């Protein structure tokens, strides 16, 4: 492939940095795909394992200077990984996200960790540019150690204000299949259950930790409130006290958009306070301590230490098994919307209207495409949630819209009675 790339560059008298891409077949044959007349996004990986500055090389070649080293003078040392940190929602088919980086804490850089980024806390991720926030690169002497550096760095990367793919990247890096290099283009589909943590085993491992974290966090919040008011007030107690009954906590935890019951019963004395947490009909005995973002837990006698990061009313739990996003379900006071498809024609993000596919007043069928908007180099086609009539469009082609704005006045057809 190297010789083929050089031959292609010589054929067009190309001068400058560039990358020729091929597709490699299982039988060892390779096929030309494309040539990019620039450095690739992954060039930091090459820099980390060779110790060379490819951007400097690019500038030298562009100014007519020879390459600093020949091929046989290059040495490869160690292994490196790169993760692209994006503003996107993996749980919504990796749809790009927009928002303001209200809180941004990146992992500490050093000989093993490199971060290439151009954003700061307070910056906006808008619809006008690619939603990549940073390139995170880790290096070590071998693949396993470099991968360990990556999982550690991802768990230390904290962002709020915009949805990111950091938990998903962590799940890839910490998965058994990736550690064993079982890689192909269908990796996500093959390992979807592990990467999105949707199995009953994952729930049994992670939900008790999430429940314990929420309980201990509630206690800390109450303690702060008590110190600021009356420490003896019953309103500042968190032990779910009941007359002649054990203390019980109820509530639902939301994981990947699904609600799970995880009732908790307090047991033990004040000095040996523990919780019986039930998930899917199975109970565990839990105790723990919360120190900042670190949760030190004892689950059925097994000690665990996990990191939990808060962001926009949600939390991400980073453990040796992977990352899980969760939230405590809030009381529903009614939204005034009767139809589950009431948001079918609201803009999923900031963007531009590029096409209206029907005329105002048109009758449409369920699933029929009605309007197309563009955001972050992607087209979003909104379809009718049922049979009905498009009464009017609130925006025209070329108009800018904000995420959450209603785009179409749609009246759903009434279904006939029995």
- For the chain, the 3-state helix, strand and coil shares in percent, each to the nearest 5, are 25, 35, 40
Give CA–CA dist 215/309, Å, rounded.
15
- Chain-centroid distance of CA 181 in Å reads 22
User: Tens-digit pLDDT profile for the chain (418 aa)?
Assistant: 989 999 999 999 888 888 899 998 889 899 999 998 888 889 999 999 999 999 999 899 888 898 899 989 999 999 999 999 999 989 888 888 888 898 898 999 999 999 999 999 999 998 778 899 999 999 999 999 999 999 999 999 988 888 899 999 999 999 999 999 999 889 999 999 889 877 777 777 889 999 999 988 888 776 666 666 666 666 555 555 554 455 678 778 888 667 888 899 888 766 677 899 998 889 999 999 999 889 999 999 999 999 888 876 788 888 877 888 888 886 554 444 444 455 678 887 778 899 999 999 999 998 899 999 887 667 788 999 889 999 999 999 988 887 778 899 999 887 655 4
Q: Which domains can be identified in the chain, with CATH numbers?
A: 2-196 (3.30.470.20), 200-328 (3.30.700.40), 351-412 (2.40.50.100)
The model's pTM: 0.70
Enter the tokens of residue 10: 């010589």
Residues classed as catalytic: 38
């Amino acid at each position: 492939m190297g010789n083929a790339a050089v031959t292609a560059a010589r054929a067009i008298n190309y001068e400058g940095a560039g990358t020729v891409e091929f597709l490699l077949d299982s039988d060892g044959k390779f096929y030309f795909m494309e040539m990019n007349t620039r450095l690739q996004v992954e060039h930091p990986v090459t820099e980390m394992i060779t110790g060379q500055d490819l951007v400097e090389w690019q500038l030298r070649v562009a100014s007519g200077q020879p390459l600093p080293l020949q091929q046989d003078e290059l040495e490869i040392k160690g292994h490196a990984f790169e993760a692209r940190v994006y503003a996107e929602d993996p749980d919504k088919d990796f749809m790009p996200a927009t928002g303001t980086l209200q809180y941004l804490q990146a992992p500490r850089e050093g000989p093993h960790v490199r971060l290439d980024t151009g954003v700061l806390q307070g910056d906006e991720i808008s619809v006008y540019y690619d939603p990549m926030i940073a390139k995170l690169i880790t290096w070590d002497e071998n693949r396993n150690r470099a991968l360990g550096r990556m999982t550690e760095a991802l768990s230390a990367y904290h962002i709020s204000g915009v949805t990111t793919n950091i938990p998903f990247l962590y799940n890839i890096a910490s998965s058994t299949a990736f550690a064993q290099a079982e890689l192909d283009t269908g990796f996500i589909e093959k390992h979807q259950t592990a990467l999105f943590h949707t199995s009953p085993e994952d729930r049994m491992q992670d939900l008790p930790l999430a429940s314990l974290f929420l309980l201990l966090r509630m206690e800390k919040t109450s303690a702060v409130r008590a110190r600021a008011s009356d420490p003896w007030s019953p309103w500042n107690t968190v032990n779910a006290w009941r007359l002649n009954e054990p203390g019980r906590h109820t509530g639902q935890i939301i994981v990947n958009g699904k609600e799970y019951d995880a009732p908790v019963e307090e047991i033990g004395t004040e000095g040996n306070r523990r919780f019986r947490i039930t998930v899917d009909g199975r109970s565990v005995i839990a105790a723990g301590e919360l120190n900042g973002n670190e949760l030190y837990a004892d689950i059925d006698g097994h000690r665990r230490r996990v990191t939990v990061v808060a962001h926009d009313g949600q939390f991400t739990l980073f453990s040796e098994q992977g990352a899980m996003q969760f939230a405590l379900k809030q009381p529903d006071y009614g939204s005034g919307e009767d139809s589950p498809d009431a948001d079918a024609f609201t803009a999923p993000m900031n963007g531009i209207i590029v096409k209206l596919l029907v005329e105002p007043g048109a009758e449409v069928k369920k699933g029929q495409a009605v309007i197309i908007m563009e955001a972050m180099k992607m087209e979003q086609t909104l379809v009718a949630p049922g049979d009905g009539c498009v009464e009017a469009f609130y925006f025209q082609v070329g108009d800018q819209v904000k995420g959450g704005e209603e785009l179409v006045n749609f009246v759903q057809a009434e279904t006939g009675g029995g």
